[in-house]
Chain A
Amino acid sequence: MKILVCISKTPDTTAKIAFTDNNTKFDVNGVQWIINPYDEWYSLVRAIELKEADASTLIHLVTVGAADAEPIIRKALALGGDEAIRVNTDSHDSFYIAAQIAEVARQGGYDLVFTGKETIDYNGSSIGGMVAELLDLPYISLATKFELAGTTATVTREIEGGEEVNEVALPFVLSATKGMAEARIPNMRGIMAARTKPLKVQEPVAVDALTSVSGFGLPPAKAGVKLVDAENVEELVRLLHEEAKSI
């Protein structure tokens, strides 16, 4: 079995969010970069577990980005995975990225394509669905469990107020969220091995982006907290009822 795992580079969760160039670009100054948590903790680790259960499984990682994405992809290789492909381009919009991943997927003939639920920077939740459509494959989003028996997968996904279990035959695309697997830390052996694992660089296919960012902004700051004495909880309830009108 061959699995393609999509890996995205995102700012660390504590990164200062600021913009430059008249609020049109994210300020990367001093930002630490991490593997997008949904890609790392859930999608990649679940793929690694599948390989641990069946050693013949091949895991390929794909990232769409410039050379500065390489430390991230090496870290992902240190966790597991056999080889990586970097599509050498500055990223544009979700559709542009999805089209690059779909091209890699077509070339590799994968049984499964895994993505994270969303990236924590653009929160698009779009790549998996777009890749699936471009490949004309089924898509299961927000997957919290994945089991495989032969060529049929049983996938649990989030729905409003609960979850549902679906069955679907390979090949297909899924987006992974919490529940799929437990986060891991790469070990020394993995880090050493990652240094010599193949990391192929390929040029992007020509695709037009469908959207662009015309500007960024920060939400207005809160006016300040109104503190109520712990002995006077009725006053808080009164404020919530009469002033905030939220209960």
Chain B
Amino acid sequence: MSVLIFIDTAEGHVKKASLEALTYGAKVAEQLGTTAEAVVLGTTQDDLPALGKYGVKKIHHVNNDNLNHLDAQVYTKVIAEVAAACGADTIIFSNNVNGKAIAPRLSARLKAGLVAGAVALPDTSQGFVVKKNVFSGKAYAMISVSTPVRIIALSPNAYQTLAGEGTAEVVAFNTSADAPKVKLVSVNKASGEVPLTEAEIVVSAGRGMKGPEHWGIVEELARTLHAATACSRPVADAHWRPHNEHVGQTGFAIAPNLYIAIGISGAIQHLAGVNRSKVIVVINKDPEAPFFKAADYGIVGDAFEVVPRMTAAIKKLRGIA
């Protein structure tokens, strides 16, 4: 028996979400009294043995050119082979973009019960029960998995990465991966910006900003904090900001350490996607804005005055002129 963790990469580099999955998977292995192993597919430039510091003992590297880009069908078959070879009864993914593509397929293939979006370690006192968010974070559910093999897709930012000591043994796993049917044409990534779903800090703004031409102060605050930017739905719908910034029940669900909401009223659909943030700061000129009820800190005031002041205060704190 073992716990197998899928290590997801982008352009050959291990994603932050996978470090969380590794830390979590190692803890699950400890709970179950087995060892944590991992699998990585395709070429990678990263120092794989160093990932041992997250608690993984052995990494199976399937270095095959057919695996350099995600085709979930091809990946699933290969991961299933690795899982069988190492006798994995618990398989861990991050519930990130690729996890969402692969974990359900693997679940159907292995008839292994899947908990998609887990937020805590399994409770093994009675069977195998894992907590996950439901109703877009408005509630949680305890999911009981009774199949011999189980799959957990860990919600990003739900489990703290923890680095200790240790080196992982990296072994080549040889198998013939099918040629991908999904072909990559192009990648379009905003360079230098922090991806929203991975960000520790998110600066988000709503209709209170009055128009896209006023986003400069929001971006400046985000830059100062090394934060990602987000927005409310009407802002994305009006094309003031791109769709990939829309957070809420029908946009991205995020759980950063700090969420700063500027000129956002705090409608229930907005809160649903952001209420797992550890700390919420609300800046709104209306003291009755519902968002204040969901906030940890708040300022009642005009965003056009408060936001530049906040940027200045943070620069001062950090000693940036």
Contact = CB atoms under 8 A, between A and B. Distances in A.
Interface of A: 11, 13-14, 17, 19, 37-38, 41, 93-95, 98, 120-130, 132-134, 136-142, 144, 154, 157-169, 172, 178-179, 210-219, 222-223, 225-230, 233-234, 236-241, 244, 246-247
Contacts of B146: 210-212
A219 B275 contact: yes
B144 A166 contact: no
A218 B139 CA distance: 5
B315 to A, nearest CB: 10
Contacts of B201: 246-247
Contacts of B76: 133
Contact of B144 (A141, A213, A216): A213
Given A142-B97, A240-B297, A123 B105 contact: no
B278 interface: yes
Given A129-B103, A160-B97, A226 B313 contact: no
A85 B255 CA distance: 37
B198 A133 contact: no
B104 interface: yes
B142 A213 contact: yes
Q: Is the interface of A mostly helix, strand, loop or mixed?
A: mixed
Given A123-B136, A217-B140, 20 more contacts: A37-B249, A123-B132, A125-B104, A125-B116, A125-B117, A126-B104, A126-B107, A127-B104, A132-B105, A133-B105, A162-B187, A162-B189, A162-B244, A178-B251, A217-B139, A222-B296, A227-B292, A244-B279, A246-B279, A247-B258
B281 interface: yes
Contact of B105 (A139, A154, A213, A233): A139
B244 to A, nearest CB: 7
Nearest to A124: B116
A210 B114 contact: yes
A131 to B, nearest CB: 8
Contact of A219 (B140, B143, B302): B140
Nearest to A138: B181
B250 interface: yes
Contacts of A215: 141-142
Nearest to B101: A141
Given A132-B72, A164-B188, A211-B114, A234 B313 contact: yes
Contact of B117 (A123, A210, A212, A234): A123
A210 B147 contact: yes
Contact of A138 (B95, B182, B299): B182
Interface in B213-260: 225, 236, 243-244, 246, 249-251, 253, 257-258
5 contacts: A37-B249, A130-B105, A210-B112, A210-B113, A234-B313
B210 interface: no
B297 A141 contact: no
Interface string B189-225: 1100111111001000000000000000000000001
A138 B73 CA distance: 6
B314 interface: yes
Contact of A13 (B253, B268, B295, B317): B268
A222 B294 contact: yes
B97 A161 contact: no
A127 B103 CA distance: 11
A125 B296 contact: no
A129 B104 contact: yes
A128 to B, nearest CB: 7
Nearest to A230: B301
Contacts of B249: 13, 37, 120
A94 B147 CA distance: 14
Nearest to A165: B185
Contact of A244 (B17, B113, B141, B297): B297
A218 B275 CA distance: 12
A230 B302 contact: yes
Contact of B298 (A11, A95, A124, A226): A226
Nearest to B151: A210
Nearest to A208: B111
A230 B115 CA distance: 44
B134 interface: yes
A121 B251 CA distance: 14
Give the 3 A-B residue pairs with the shortest CB-CB distance, closest first.
A230-B301, A161-B195, A129-B104
Nearest to A131: B108
Given A167-B182, A244-B258, A219 B137 contact: yes
B310 interface: yes
Contacts of A210: 107, 111-114, 145-147
Contacts of B251: 178
A23 to B, nearest CB: 9
A93 B112 CA distance: 12
B300 interface: yes
B101 A123 contact: no
B117 A124 contact: yes
A236 B281 contact: yes
Interface string B95-138: 11100111111111101111111000000000001001111111
Nearest to B251: A178
Contact of A122 (B104, B134, B194): B134
